[in-house]
Amino acid sequence: MRITNYWITSLSFVVQTFAFRENIALKKDTTQSSTYLFWSNQQPAKSSLSNDGNRDQHDDDPDGPVCSHTKLDETDYWWAIDLGQEYTINIITICGRVDCCDTITAALNPIVEICQDNEDGDDNRGSLQMDDVASSTSEAEAIAGKMAQDIIKCQLCDASKNVKWKCVDCSLHLCDECKTKRHSKFKGSEDHVIFQINQLGTSVVTDAMRMLDLKNIQCSFHDEKCSLYCDDCNRPVCSLCVLETHQHHQLVKIDEAFNQQLTKLKDLKEKIENDLLPFYRENIKVMNRILNKGLDTYEEQKQKILHKEKGARDKATLEAIIELDKRWTPKIEAVLTELQRLQMAKMDLKERQSEINNAIQLRQATSVFQTFLRVQKNLPVKSEIPRHLFNFPSEKTPDSESTVKTPELKIVKTYKYASFFISNLNVLKNGTFVIQDNAKIKYLVVENSELKQICTIDIEEMHPGCNDMTVTDDCTVYLSECRGHDVMCVKKGMKLKRFATIAHEPHGLHAKDNETLVVGFISGVIIFNLQGRQLQKFEMDTFLCPEKLTTNLNGDICIIDRSSGDPDYMYGKIVVLGSKGELKWTYSGHGIENSSEDEFSPFCIVTTEKGNILTSESNTIHMLSKDGKFIRSFGEKQGIPSSNIVEVNNNGQLILVEMSGEISKIHIVDLINI
């Protein structure tokens, strides 16, 4: 199918059959005579933008064009689409730009012809004329409906061309007489949905088609139609499904569920368009300004070094430039990482916006259910730009070098433990180590510079294991059940018992001040007192899977979030919540010098007595301030081995566990200038 003979700007192209069920042009292969670059952003207005499902046609989108456009200096303009196979086409909708160029769109004559052979072999044709040009989607569909009305016959009497009605249930086009005298005699016709042809393109048709589709959703497991919706399983169900597997689930009428989810989709669309997208666009502008300012400042400092040495490339100059790069590279990389995060979030939101728009426009009710399930998950949230990214390394002076004390880590003692794998480790105030070694909890003390086991607790019944462990000073061990819903507890010499049951699988645990227990679960945190009573609960889409967590001296909850919600997926971020559950900041590995991983993969997290935060990944320990500012990293270059477990003892020393071969090493580390 090819459109010719006019300057083509900003088309939205829809091709439909008489069933009005499907846009057969959607996302099919297209081409055009040339491609225009919009002046505002130099982005190509590709031919595929005409049939991508977005009918909001304009060129002033800050992210690039949303419509097709040919070059201005051509004499033979055309746009073409390959539908992939032969169709009997009855309706073609072409929408012009909504921001300008209505006079250009009015010059279409002809655009494309709609043909249908009648019984006599005559060729009935309809085409859009100058007076039939639409300025909006609904108007264009109404014009297409008028064209269809003029070129087809009533599908009951097969004689009258005065078609004015369509029965949605029968999928028949009717004249006045057949609607009144013949169709009304059909069994059950009093419940059929009939609309006027000239209502095509209005919400009346869309709503009618959806209601019909809603009544005809077939069960995936039984030969029945679905009349209910299971909120627990998020899918339509039939009466047999209810009897077999959904008896105790939350069920609602399918039309009620549809209306609820359609409303939520529209609310989410408004939130994305009016809240989230503007937020990310503005923050991307801010980050670009930070990046440009940083690069300019770096270049100024570099030129000062070169100018001081009058361009000489002696050893001192090279060392000064190397030192400058060493201070600046982590900062620039951190800014670029944050900029990439913001851009990815904005792209994610744009995709969700497009999905929602398509679902709202489509006349299949199932598209609303399916889209709602997809777009509500893991929605990007408004996380502020970390404040430390606004600060740049200053020029070094002798005075500043003498007053700045660099944080250091120094291993002062090392103990060997005869096991190749330690799952969890805690330290009591008296210095006792409490470790999880496979299905056993072991208490270890130091005697004659060696570790001595004084007690063992069997937790074999917690098969397939636990996700995390924490210990209070009265030696009570709390364990989060893997693939279950229970938080268990046990004391020396006693049996394992249930402390609390929650609705989701528990993950990270932390005993705060020996008074409360903080429990992380998928997209939430619960705080219990040590008698098992729930004190607070935070549920949010800020994070997915809180694998480990701790608290800080200001009451913040510091969380290691596994970004995918899959424990086997090791990449993630640090999420910090205030004492009321509000998001304060996030950290994704900015400015790391010794990390060999492309993505941040934290394992453990602790806080120091001054409120600094330490988190470990495979070969690096990251140090942050309590407000999320990156301080420095430690790795093999600083004499710190690859460590998986990090803890802080009562003396303020860091406990590292290095696991290699059949022996684990427990290192005691002094924190210097921290």
pLDDT over threshold 70, residue 472 = yes
Q: Is pLDDT of 102 > 60?
A: no
Distances (CA, A) of 286 to 61, 204, 283, 581: 19, 45, 5, 27
Q: What is the pTM of this model?
A: 0.45
Query: Is there a domain that residue 349 lies in?
Result: yes
**Are residues 105 and 57 in contact, defined by beta-carbon separation less than 8 angstroms?**
no
pLDDT tens sequence across 418-439: 887 788 999 988 889 999 988 8
Structure confidence at residue 131 (pLDDT): 36
Domain-located, residue 614: no
pLDDT of residue 430: 84
Does a structural domain hold residue 97? yes
State which residues form the domain around 88. 1-118
Q: Is 436 part of a structural domain of the chain?
A: no
Q: How confident is the model at residue 4 (pLDDT cuts 50, 70, 90)?
A: very low
In a domain, 43, yes or no: yes
- pLDDT for the residue numbered 134: 39
Phi and psi for 405 in degrees, rounded to 5? -105, 120
List the helix and strand counts (H, then E) for the chain.
10, 37
**Structural domains in the chain (count):** 2
pLDDT of residue 203: 66
CA–CA distance, 52 with 617 (Å, rounded to integer): 42
CB 509 within 8 A of CB 471: no
Euclidean distance between CA atoms 62 and 21, whole angstroms: 33
Task: Evaluate whether residue 291 is within a structural domain.
Answer: yes
Report CA-CA distances (Å) from 386 to 389, 575, 640.
Answer: 6, 12, 27
The tens digit of pLDDT for each residue in 272-312 reads 999 899 999 999 998 898 888 888 888 888 888 877 655 44
Predicted confidence at residue 23, as pLDDT, reads: 75
DSSP classification of residue 258: H
- In tens, the pLDDT along 569-623 reads 567 889 999 988 888 888 887 654 434 445 788 889 999 988 999 998 878 899 9
478 pLDDT band (50/70/90 cuts)? very high
Are 612 and 622 contacting, i.e. CB atoms less than 8 angstroms apart?
no
Instruction: For residue 572, give the H/E element and its range.
Output: strand 572-577
Domain end: 389, 416, 444, which one? 389
Residue 653 lies inside a defined structural domain of this protein: no
Q: CB neighbours of 131 closer than 8 A, spacing ≥ 6?
A: none
| φ, ψ of residue 33 in degrees (nearest 5) | -65, -30
pLDDT surpasses 60 at 8: no
Tokens representing residue 44 in the block: 């190509």
- Cα-based distances in Å from 447 to 386, 612, 656: 46, 31, 19
- Cα separation of 506 and 480, whole Å? 5
Q: Of 389, 408, 427, which residue is a domain's last?
A: 389
Per-residue tokens: 496? 């394992």
**pLDDT value of position 97:** 62
Identify the band that residue 673 occupies on the pLDDT scale cut at 50, 70 and 90: confident
Q: Which residue, among 390, 383, 355, has the nearest Cα to 369 in the 3D structure?
A: 355
The answer to whether the bond into 546 is cis (omega within 30° of 0) is no
Domain-ending residue, one of 389, 417, 433? 389
Provide the Cα torsion 238, 242, 246, 248; round to 10°: 140
394 secondary structure, DSSP code? P
Structure tokens at 278: 């503007």
The helix-helix angle for 277-308 and 315-361 (nearest 10°) equals: 170
What angle do helix axes 254-271 and 315-361 make, rounded to 10 degrees? 140
> Is residue 236, in this structure, part of any structural domain at all?
no
Dihedral in degrees, nearest 10, Cα atoms 102, 103, 104, 107:
120
